[in-house]
Amino acid sequence: MPLTLTAFERHLLAGGDCEARALAMRILVAAAEMLGANELVEIASAHVDGCLYHGDGGVEFAERLVAGGGKVAVSTTLNVGALDLLHPERVRSGSHARFMARRQMEAYRSLGCTPTWTCAPYQAGHRPAFGEQVAWGESNAIAFCNSVLGARTERYGDFLDACCAVTARAPLYGLHTSEARRATVVIDASRVPPDLAARDVFYAVLGTWLGRALGEGEIGVIGGLDAHPTEDQLKALGAAAASSGAVALFHVAGVTPEAPTVEDALGHQPAGRRLVLTGLDLSAAADRLTTAVPGSGASLVLDAVAVGSPHFSVQEFDRLVSLLDGIRFRVPFYACTGRGVLEQLERTGQREALERAGVVLIVDTCVVVTPILPVGGGVLMTCSGKFAHYGPATTGFETVFGSLEDCVRSAAEGRVVRAEGVWSW
């Protein structure tokens, strides 16, 4: 069936509101037709990833929307930019890139977006209701929105996310529909030891495995897990799965809102596949997250540590502070977070404790997308599955994956120290 527009949508398309909304509607209609959507759906909010500078074309697009009288029509938060606006001296970009990155960030503010500058808007108060239709960019945010909050979004990239925000519309297809959200693959996690399932480090590895295990269009439901994951653990799971396999929705039986049971997640229909999660599966997934001379382990000299992809939460900083215990780091230790979390760290006095130990706090951006890490490359350690996945290609550093505890010990000693064998049982 051809795409059908309402009278109001035709009004926007014809330029009856403003040129910016007409432009956004033309792009949105073309995308909807390409995707095979029969209609558009009204959205309640958006999260825009297009504010990150990748080239001058992105700046020109945002500024054209502003020049055309554009304003976002729904509550819209902003993903990371290419600058730490509070600490601009930490970014090594050239003058042109810095100038254009700031212009791009300012253009989105002019459109009426909330300048959250975080890849974890759900930690900054942007939490759409269960079943609410939204349009979010940023892979981890999409996975969290769909899976943990139970709101409905497809994968919106640059600059379709901005078009959705300006028109308050999105193509009605895919994960916006109930049928597409039904699980098709059952993962039996009953063999995972309870003590491992309680650890933060487990969820990044589980997500890495999940992203690679699922095929295109498959949605998994994890059953038999003897734990009730925290939001940060689910955040890590979704971020790693979205990085390794473009997962935009997962279910955990008895935990996530659309999966009271495995059968509910399946829509009470037969599963297309059933998988049993083993220690060998997890061990192989964990190994994939380490690229720095595999097998050399503790003999590796460490050059930097980076955490906070997705951005570190208040609870994660609480855990980090509890591990410091008066130590000082021998290598740079970067922690990326949002401004809202930074403000809470300042109110509680934790910022001082973190910086005294040598933690470098990065806001508004991330060391994977912005040149902040030391020049020359080397070995980078992280507890983030997403950092580990993208780090070698984007930073020039080889990665070592470990728990947050491993990262703190290694930064204090200046060499890689990891608890080995946690993935075997």
**pLDDT > 80? residue 295:** no
Q: How far is CA 272 from the centre of its chain?
A: 28
Residue 154 identity = E
Q: Is 386 within 8 Å of 311 (Cβ atoms)? A: no
User: In the chain, what percentage of residues exceed pLDDT 90?
Assistant: 93
Q: Which CATH number fits domain 7-179: 3.40.50, 3.30.499, 3.30.70, 3.30.450?
A: 3.30.499
**pLDDT > 80? residue 408:** yes
Residue 278 and residue 190: Cα distance in Å, rounded? Answer: 9
Tracing tokens 């290694």 back to the chain, one arrives at: 410
Give pLDDT tens digits for 7-19: 999 999 999 889 9
Looking at domain 297-413, which CATH architecture does it have? 2-Layer Sandwich (3.30)
Give pLDDT tens digits for 57-84: 999 999 999 999 999 999 999 999 999 9
Please state the rounded mean pLDDT for residues 378-405.
96
Contacts of 200 (CB under 8 A, 6+ apart): 232, 233, 236, 319, 383, 403, 404
* Closest by CA position to 89, among listed 362, 386, 350: 362
pLDDT at site 296:
46
Q: How confident is the model at residue 304 (pLDDT cuts 50, 70, 90)?
A: very high
Please state the rounded mean pLDDT for residues 379-397.
96
Its pTM stands at 0.96
The sheet with strand 359-363 has its strands ordered as 359-363, 333-337, 304-312, 378-382, 397-401
Calculate the average pLDDT of the chain: 95
Q: Domain extents for the chain?
A: 7-179, 182-288, 297-413
**pLDDT > 70? residue 102:** yes
**pLDDT > 60? residue 45:** yes
pLDDT at site 361:
98
**pLDDT > 60? residue 289:** yes
Please state the rounded mean pLDDT for residues 241-267.
97
User: In the chain, what percentage of residues exceed pLDDT 70?
Assistant: 99
Please state the rounded mean pLDDT for residues 270-290.
96
Query: Fold identical between 7-179 and 297-413?
Result: yes
Q: How confident is the model at residue 294 (pLDDT cuts 50, 70, 90)?
A: low
Q: Is 240 within 8 Å of 207 (Cβ atoms)? A: yes
Largest distance between two CA atoms of the chain: 67
Q: Is 371 within 8 Å of 93 (Cβ atoms)? A: yes
Q: Is 237 within 8 Å of 203 (Cβ atoms)? A: yes
Q: Which three-class secondary structure state does DSSP give residue 297? A: helix
Q: How confident is the model at residue 97 (pLDDT cuts 50, 70, 90)?
A: very high
pLDDT at site 422:
82
Give pLDDT tens digits for 321-343: 999 988 899 999 999 999 999 99
pLDDT at site 419:
82
